[in-house]
Structure 1
Amino acid sequence: MKKIAFVIALTLSMLACKNESKDVVDNSKNKTYTLLGTVKGMPDSSMVIISEANKTIDSAIVKDERFTISGSLEEPISVYLSIKGTRDYTTLWLEPGRLTFSAEKGKFKQAEITGSGLQKEDNRLNAQIVALRFQQDSIENLIRPDMTKLEKQVLLGAYFDLEREEDSIYKSFIAENNHSLVSAHILNIYKTTWGKATTQSLYDKFTKEVKSSNYGKGIKEYLTLNKEPAIGDPYVDFAMLDVNGDSKKLSDEKGRVTLLEFWASWCGPCRAENPNLVKTYEMFHPKGFDIFAVSLDTDKDRWMEAIAKDGLEWTHVSDLSEENKAGLIYGVNGIPDNFLIDASGNVVGRNLRGEELNTKLAELLP
């Protein structure tokens, strides 16, 4: 079920681009766009926000149930369109030209969007995904606490079969549309989930234009950096800035048993686990145990606030970017995640938590 949260944003924005994709990476083309919006039932002074990667691109104020947003683009991108202070949101493709958006208050996910060739392809692909997600939701609703273990296993088996079918649809789209910027968008999202071998195979088939796009560059960076050490492999060193702006290396912990912990202030499960991690640290730190925590935060203030609030006394680093370099190196596709490294510098465990982590540390630090 872990994958549900990871892909939910992608469900609405899934992709496209055939002949249009060759234009989106051509710098000689017009880069300006105008989005004309109609939102039935939306009060005046409501703020429409367009954002990408948690950053606001533009905004507008609704008047007489209408809004207009104009701007320029380096290349088409998949963005969120939302109303500030509400749960109204959807995703759409911004690309040069005249685009229209029509929806009702509270029903943004059923919006009609025109003027974008990418959006048309997105809608066709997304129709297949929505059908699978509906079946997954139905299975989740059938799972009850009083079920037997076998009954749950049967339902979960059916659920994960649908996940594999979903992956197959995405991979087939990418393989059949190697000229498509949308294919690069999908692969850029799923690269750490599918792993280096699958990502490399699909990326190699892309056209030169797609590889040169921002999504293509993101995939290339992952392929260049990724090492994803397995249990028994030596750790991979890296350097990153701490909360004071000083460079810290993982190798600074050499000779001590170290937990390389990936987390973020906005990650609920991470924050819920922190009290247990504090107890583990207090128990084993005097014996030679350290934690080297890498945050996937992009907001430094929230990152530092979480460190203070949760009482995390160990080393903290982050590059405050959407594509955390250490995460790419270690192949992190969801958090919390961690790698336990022994005093000799070898990975001896991954994603160990609570008593399982304590038991392993007791073996390493008797």
Structure 2
Amino acid sequence: MRKIISGLLIGLLFMGCTKQETTYTIQGEWEGGDGKVVYLKKDLGDKKYEILDSAIVANGSFKMQKPLGDVDERILEINGSTNIVILDSIPIHVKCITVKKTVKGKEIENVRAEISGSVEQDIFKTMLLAQRDEMLMMLGLSFMGRDENTSAAMQDSLIQMYTAMKEKTVRTIDSLVTNYPDCHATALIINNFVIKDRDLAEVEKMYEGLTPRIKNAYLGRKLKTSIDNIKKTSIGSVVPDFTLQAPDGKDVSLSDYRGKIVLLDFWASWCGPCLREVPNVKKVYDKFHDKGFEILSVSLDDKKDNWVNAIEKNDLNWGHVSSLKGWSCPVAKLYNVSGVPAMLLIDKEGKIVATKLRGDLLMEKVAEQFGE
């Protein structure tokens, strides 16, 4: 990772991220790919995509070139596999490598894309590699933790390894943000990877470190919007009201709960961490409900049956609403929810008193509101 970052720093001295945006160029090599189509797509959310460009592979190569527009993350789809690309006016090169393997007697062909050429792309690739390493470590920790043969000492060792890996990811992010203030990818990294885990003051400091060019560009403006939304839902802020439908079709507003201590809980039926948190949430609800504690759960499901079945199966006997629009839920956007579970504790005056609640912290913060 250190070599990658050092290479990027040297590259920046000679090339930088400041070239005037006019057109994008994607040049690719794909031996054996003749006749196949490569797509450039825009992610619209909820597993919906808009095709922006395409190219047919001929003589082992393909090329896309069009007016650039806003610099943003795009999806390059090759043989069904997706790759995130950040396009600016510097051409990027894609080398497609076909990997064949046999699974249960059937030959499967996968295509791996090696993408290079743009500083923007290299910066984002560095971030993705750091995140991948952290995720692999987390999956390994989860697997070993479920194994009855894993000793307590081994689990402690794995936790220490994961903590070290997470700290390494933080250092990678900080290095990229500090060294590349004039790159669109930096604004994207702050918005996609930093904003959900760091304090607002730290995020604002990173934003202020960006150059005016990036602040005024699309990804910079998008980051500023996210920061403004966080301010609306930061501790001490009065929560914005909303109205959504309950499972029975009736309208329910957050303001209906004014005068109560309320846990605003964003979740989904498909969210494993949400369901694992249920026993803890139930414990808090059972202890404080008779004293004036309420829960309003906002589901990010897009299918009503899945939503309602999860409520019934898990015996979630409190308020529930949903737009059934998945990640396009307007309330999730209003509250800048980028992952679930996400919980906010609201006092009787409608002010947010705690966020990022999990485990024992939820019980602790609710107890504080009742003077315990």
**Partners of 1:316 and 1:43 in 2: how far apart?**
50
**Partners of 2:175 and 2:118 in 1: how far apart?**
22
Task: Show the counterpart of 2:70.
Answer: 75
Pick aligned residue for 1:222 from 226, 232, 243: 226
Q: Do the aligned partners of residues 250 and 21 (structure 1) sit closer, same or farther apart at CA in structure 2, a change above 3 Å counting? A: farther
SS in 1 for 2:83: strand
**Partners of 2:65 and 2:270 in 1: how far apart?**
31
Task: Show the counterpart of 2:342.
Answer: 337
Q: Is the 8 A contact 1:260 1:292 kept in 2?
A: yes
Q: Is the 8 A contact 1:46 1:61 kept in 2?
A: yes
Map 1:279-294; keep pairs closer than 5 Å. 290-294=294-298
Task: Show the counterpart of 1:184.
Answer: 187
**Partners of 1:179 and 1:323 in 2: how far apart?**
32
Pick aligned residue for 1:258 from 241, 258, 262: 262
Q: 1:208: how far off?
A: 0.6
Question: Per-residue displacement from partner, 1:259-284 (whole Å, max 9, x unpaired)?
Answer: 20012465343366679979998998
Map 1:158-197; keep pairs closer than 5 Å. 158-189=161-192, 190-197=194-201
Extract unaligned runs of 5+ from structure 1. 1-13
Higher-RCO chain (CA-CA 8 Å, sequence separation at least 6): 1
Q: Does 1:351 align with 2:357?
A: yes
Q: 1:187: how far off?
A: 1.2
Task: Show the counterpart of 1:30.
Answer: 22
Q: Is the 8 A contact 1:17 1:118 kept in 2?
A: no
Task: Show the counterpart of 1:205.
Answer: 209
Extract unaligned runs of 5+ from structure 2. 1-7, 100-108
**Partners of 1:40 and 1:109 in 2: how far apart?**
11
Q: 1:301: how far off?
A: 4.3
Question: Per-residue displacement from partner, 1:210-245 (whole Å, max 9, x unpaired)?
Answer: 111222223222333324978xx6563113352499
Residue type of the alignment partner of 1:111: A
Aligned residues: 335
SS in 2 for 1:118: helix
Task: Show the counterpart of 1:119.
Answer: 121
Task: Show the counterpart of 1:238.
Answer: 240
**Partners of 1:217 and 1:91 in 2: how far apart?**
20
Q: Do the aligned partners of residues 216 and 49 (structure 1) sit closer, same or farther apart at CA in structure 2, a change above 3 Å counting? A: closer
Identity, % of aligned pairs? 22
**Partners of 2:148 and 2:244 in 1: how far apart?**
43
Task: Show the counterpart of 1:310.
Answer: 310
Task: Show the counterpart of 2:5.
Answer: none
**Partners of 2:92 and 2:74 in 1: how far apart?**
13
SS in 2 for 1:91: strand
**Partners of 1:266 and 1:60 in 2: how far apart?**
33
TM-score when scaled to structure 1?
A: 0.68
Q: Is the 8 A contact 2:120 2:183 kept in 1?
A: no
Q: CA RMSD in A?
A: 5.0
